[in-house]
Structure 1
Amino acid sequence: MINIVRVLLVAFTSIFGFSFFRDIAKAKRENSFEEVSAKKAFATGFATDFFDTLGIGSFAPTVAMMNILKMNVSDRLIPGTLNVCHTIPVVVEALIFTTVIKVEPITLISLIGAAVVGSYVGAGVISKMDEKKIQLIMGFALAITAVLMLLAQLGLMPGGGDAIGLSGVKLAIGVVGNFILGALMTAGVGLYSPCMAMIYFLGMSPDIAFPIMMGSCAMLMPIASTKFIKEDAYAKKTSLFITIGGIIGVFIAAYIVKSMPMDILKWVVIVVIAYTSVTMLKKAFNKEEIK
């Protein structure tokens, strides 16, 4: 059954890749790329997907790096850009981690399927939202992400258990939870931290979080991202170079670095995400005051 998941991952990603690179080629022909530094986008992809492979997550750090490097991506385009640019790197991660970490197939497939359905519903809604609503959603989501990471750093997150699968009520809770997280991910809300928290709460082994959260993201992102491409709701040049840098970052993290001391980096990420959350919310509320 795990092999079926991998086959579907490759199939969905192939469809996404065709749409993505066709759209990129069209933008290049029409000279409609946004004004952004390819080097900054590449560096952002390399750094965020490198640490994503080690379990930090890529969405919130990407938003933070976009602000720090002043990449000037419109807030309205951020959710689509996050999904599109990280799709291929996350699929590579999922193919690696579903191979090396054992998880009960029914649990893996059920939670991944729920996230996919949630993302399909969410992408259609988010791609049509105005900038202010997206700023509010992302601002609060980044704040929640920072809180979850802080709880984990302080050792206040439940420690999980030894289970490699779920059944009964716990499986139902996991399915509903991942459906919601899949929908929120299309708004630019990273799935990693909340998914890891949910898996801990349900008594599963912390290691199981990796194939579930990476598999969920990898399966839902090609579908959601194809919708964002269709709606022209993403930054094209930024997404292309983040993708290229991200793929390289994943392979280096997975096969060369494998693990590293993360405590100091996690504290830095928490502070940066919290700051980015405040900045995003200030933009949204300032617009409200102007009106």
Structure 2
Amino acid sequence: MLTIVLSVLGLLTLYFAIIFVKDYMLASKENRLEKPNFLATGAVGFFTNFFDTLGIGSFAPTTALLKQFKLTNDRTMPGTLNVSCTIPVVLEAFIFITVIKVDTLTLVAMLAAATIGAIIGAGFVAKLDVKKIQLGMGVALLIVAFIMIAQQLKMFPAGGDAIGLTGGKLIVAIIANFMLGALMTLGIGLYAPCMALVFALGLSPAIAFPIMMGSCAFLMPAASVKFVKEGAYDRKASMAITVFGVVGVLIAAYIVKSLPLEILKWLVVVVIIYTSAMMFKSYSKPVAIKAKA
């Protein structure tokens, strides 16, 4: 079953990669690529995906850095986050699913739920205007910050030693992961809330890694194809983050493996709250009306 799961993930990712690369090459040929600095955006991708592999999550810090250094615009932020982090996260999923033992039914059910949620969510988010994106991401970032603070203060259960779920707990996990998959397309990272869910249901803390990374790996290609086809993402930023993000994942997984992350997590919370405030500030500004010719 694990071989089937990984094979399906590989094929889904290959399909996404073909769509993404074709769109990028066509835009490049037609001189329609966006203007962000490739190396600067790539550095963001390396940094955030490096720490993503260690369990911090990449969406919130990537949003913060892209927003702070004006490397892309708010309108395309959700699509850019999903498209750019897809291949690095799939790589993480392959690494952790093959290393950490988890009940197959629990893993497959939660991955499928997140994927279906993302497919439904992406079609909706891709059509939102910039004001709704700014408001939605401002709220989403505050939710992530609250969950991370609660985790740091040990307000959530510490987890148990189970490697799978059955009965009511499995149903709760499926429904919750469906909702998290839908919300992820708006730019709210799945890692923090999924880790909290895993702990609350009594699963082993180690199980959080294959579940949250596998969930993202399955839902992101499906959602990202929709963003690519809608043109609702920054092509140049996404390619830079993808390329450098893969390097960051490989270094974190096979060379660094672990770091003292407590101080860094508090720093990320501060950055997330700051970025949320910036989103609300942008939302509060009136939309500029272009003069008629």
Shorter-chain TM-score range: over 0.9
User: What is the CA-CA distance between 1:158 and the residue it aligns to?
Assistant: 1.2
Mapping for residues 229-240 of structure 1, pairs under 5 Å: 229-240=228-239
Question: What CA RMSD, in Å, does the superposition of the two structures yield over aligned residues?
Answer: 1.1
Is the 1:116–1:223 Cα contact (8 Å) retained in structure 2? yes
8 A contact 1:40–1:69 mirrored in 2 = no
Per the TM alignment, residue 287 of structure 1 is displaced from its structure 2 partner at its CA by: 3.4
Aligned to 2:152: 153
Whether the 8 Å contact between 1:45 and 1:241 is mirrored in structure 2 is: yes
Query: Which residue of structure 1 aligns with residue 57 of structure 2?
Result: 57
Greater shift in the superposed pair: 276-285 or 76-85: 276-285
Amino acid at match of 1:277: S
Match of 1:283 in 2: 282
1:197-234 deviation line (CA, Å, top 9, x unaligned) = 11111111111000000000000100100010000000
How far apart are 1:285 and its partner, in Å? 2.7
CA–CA separation in structure 1 for the residues paired with 2:159 and 2:281: 36
Q: Offset of 1:86 from its aligned partner?
A: 0.3
Measured against aligned partners, the alpha-carbon deviations of 1:146-192 in whole angstroms (never above 9, x if no partner) come to 11111111222210111110110000000000000000111111000
Could you tell me how far apart the structure 2 residues matched to 1:25 and 1:9 are?
Answer: 24
SS in 1 for 2:141: helix
Paired residues, what number?
A: 288
Number of the residue aligned with 1:120: 119
Distance (Å, rounded) in 1 between the aligned partners of 2:190 and 2:95: 18
Question: 2:20 aligns to what?
Answer: 20
1:93 is aligned to 2:92 = yes
TM-score when normalising by structure 1: 0.97
Structure 1 segment 118-267 matched on structure 2, within 5 A: 118-267=117-266
> What's 1:70 paired with?
70
Unaligned ranges ≥5, structure 2:
none
Give 1:270 shift.
Answer: 0.6
* Separation (CA, whole Å) in 2 of partners of 1:218 and 1:131: 26
Amino acid at match of 2:7: V
Work out the CA distance in 2 between the residues paired with 1:190 and 1:8: 23
Q: Distance in 2 between matches of 1:69 and 1:278?
A: 15
Whole-angstrom CA distance in 1 between matches of 2:205 and 2:51: 17
For 2:115 and 2:286, the matched residues in 1 are separated by 33
Structure 1 unaligned regions, length at least 5: none
Q: C-alpha separation between the residues in 2 aligned to 1:191 and 1:285?
A: 27
Using the alignment, how far apart are the partners of 1:247 and 1:89 within structure 2? 5
- Residue 287 of structure 1 aligns to a residue whose secondary structure is coil
Residues 119, 184 of structure 1: 8 Å contact kept? yes
